[in-house]
Structure 1
């Protein structure tokens, strides 16, 4: 084994040492970004690429978009093929946003204020999405894909509006294309802020807006999904700790965090917070962490990367240290309405992964993030 691989293996083992333990072989699959826009259409992709934005270099820009009827139906069909030791199928915690920018209204009002719409209204403008809302309800009822809260929208609205008003050419073109998530290097090398990190903090004055984003987003989540959210995964990870009180007041009991969480303080300042699975904060909320990764659509790794066997090895490491295996697997892997081959490749790999888990650990149990949180909390 090469030195880099040895170091990575050592770090993977060490990172699994702290925190809550169990001898049960629990597998949680968390999938972020559902409900959010990314690439609006093939025409939007072409316009951005032809203008000089390197969208072709990002798998999110190439493959990801608002989930279609087929995207959800094929993923549900794949999960339903398997049964764990409890007799239940694998389940994905679908970490979703509930709103997207209302581009028309923002434009009509001359960029004077940010406006948003429920993702169900966004669906009405997309070409293959008529049954997505109903499929989400079906997936949750069948415990195949169960929603959790990712934020109101996958967008730092205050930062985005400042860029639009400031005349950032790349951001304005993307706006005309119905897109917010674009590369950080824009037209002619223009710098583009990170808009996807909804709770990153440019200035502490933005905290009041972020509190409102959480309150209104959680209210909309309950309205759309028929139940209150109890688990929160901040988009792109950034999140100021003072917002945990807002979350607690709104019913969030479990919060996703990196083991080394980079907390934004505003004015370009950050500090590291060290956390582990099951750790409690002063409000009684518990932190949940991820320790396995399954991202077969990724263009950020060598094409030769074996996502199935690498993920199985990460699961084995988690179980070695008596930890649940929490797998990160973003929505982009399962989206095919822009490129059906992307979805087909990833679903084939997902079948291999699920079969591999059940073959190696016949007593494996698939849980949602909420269920794992309840187990850790002793509920």
Structure 2
């Protein structure tokens, strides 16, 4: 099994853009999105019989929520502590979502219509004083560069269908101000996957949502997003193409992409870093993973270093996936401390092993590949 896994990784690193430079990109998903509002909400949902500790969802349910000033300050300190040979600090491409559901308005509409709020309003509701100022500071200092991860981290169409029919678990979660937990799905579509397709007729609404989200991203951040990572990877080509009008030039994709068509049908596509779609958008593919709170019995630094080494061996940039939940401490301060310590250990090891490393954002890499 290990030999097969090694062979697959080797083959997948061969095609596409190549460079002798030791480029390291860190793409961190989910910034701006809600998850677990509070420990009180967690306790209430568990008391009502919901299983929030099953599988990989448990690390999100127990640790993940909107970042506060302590989370961002701690992260930025670590990133500033490690500079490449050009003097650039380590950089997170913060895959961001500019909206969350407006639960009060949805309830007032008797669950018949969807309403959202800008994530800056959500920050206010959560009492995250000063957090958005730090977002702007992180971008100015090039350690935290927001890009587009969708409007919400939520399959709006599927979620609303579930709310309208009065699904018990969906309503229980709604009452606590969240949608996501281990069994949050309907008809095989996970609520966390905004662009998964339950029925083909959902696609046109998803195109509208993704375009609207790009407009909102620009309103919130003051610039157009250039890079897009579909949450959970699932998306239809029409929705992907909808990003073009909004200015997206670079799109993250699995090397084997299963396009969702609805009614549980999919279509397989083979992609590689630097490949372009018919609109000229460039695909970027992740080839390393760093999730330090995903199983404490694993040396995540060593595992990620091996993946980076594999990328460099085949003259590929190392594009690392690392979710927000690894660095959040509002619900569990030990989670943040552990994640930041491990991130520092990874960056230190990278610079020691490859002193010629260059840190950059995904859009920066996209521009290099595109030119």
Whether TM-score is above 0.5 comes out as: yes
| TM-score normalized with structure 2 length | 0.97
Q: Which residue of 1 aligns with 2:4?
A: 7
After TM superposition, give the deviation of residue 185 of structure 1 in Å. Answer: 7.2
Task: Sort the Cα spacing of 1:347 and 1:96 in 2 relative to 1 into closer, same or farther, 3 A.
Answer: same
**SS in structure 1 at match of 2:85:** coil
RMSD between aligned residues: 1.4
After TM superposition, give the deviation of residue 193 of structure 1 in Å. Answer: 4.6
Task: Sort the Cα spacing of 1:192 and 1:246 in 2 relative to 1 into closer, same or farther, 3 A.
Answer: closer
Task: Sort the Cα spacing of 1:191 and 1:39 in 2 relative to 1 into closer, same or farther, 3 A.
Answer: farther
Q: Which residue of 1 aligns with 2:148?
A: 149
Task: Sort the Cα spacing of 1:185 and 1:161 in 2 relative to 1 into closer, same or farther, 3 A.
Answer: closer
**SS in structure 2 at match of 1:345:** helix
Distance 2:278 2:125 in 1: 44
**SS in structure 1 at match of 2:173:** helix
Distance 2:294 2:159 in 1: 25
Asked if the contact 2:207–2:238 (Cα under 8 Å) also holds between the matched residues in 1, the reply is no
Distance 1:206 1:68 in 2: 35
- Partner deviation per Cα, 1:220-271 (whole Å, 9 max, x = no partner): 1111111100101011111111123321111100011001111110122112
Task: Sort the Cα spacing of 1:308 and 1:81 in 2 relative to 1 into closer, same or farther, 3 A.
Answer: same
Query: Across the two proteins, how many residue pairs are aligned to each other?
Result: 368
Task: Sort the Cα spacing of 1:26 and 1:345 in 2 relative to 1 into closer, same or farther, 3 A.
Answer: same
After TM superposition, give the deviation of residue 6 of structure 1 in Å. Answer: 2.3
**SS in structure 2 at match of 1:199:** coil
Q: Which residue of 2 aligns with 1:60?
A: 60
Q: Which residue of 2 aligns with 1:18?
A: 15
Asked if the contact 2:170–2:184 (Cα under 8 Å) also holds between the matched residues in 1, the reply is no
Distance 1:185 1:105 in 2: 21
Task: Sort the Cα spacing of 1:182 and 1:192 in 2 relative to 1 into closer, same or farther, 3 A.
Answer: farther
Please list every run of 5 or more consecutive structure 2 residues that lacks an aligned counterpart in the other structure. none
Q: Which residue of 2 aligns with 1:234?
A: 230
Asked if the contact 2:155–2:196 (Cα under 8 Å) also holds between the matched residues in 1, the reply is yes
Aligned counterpart for 1:258 among listed residues 254, 257, 276: 254
Please list every run of 5 or more consecutive structure 1 residues that lacks an aligned counterpart in the other structure. none
After TM superposition, give the deviation of residue 214 of structure 1 in Å. Answer: 1.3
| TM-score normalized with structure 1 length | 0.95
Q: Write the mapping of 1:200-279 to structure 2, written as runs, cut at 5 A.
A: 200-279=196-275
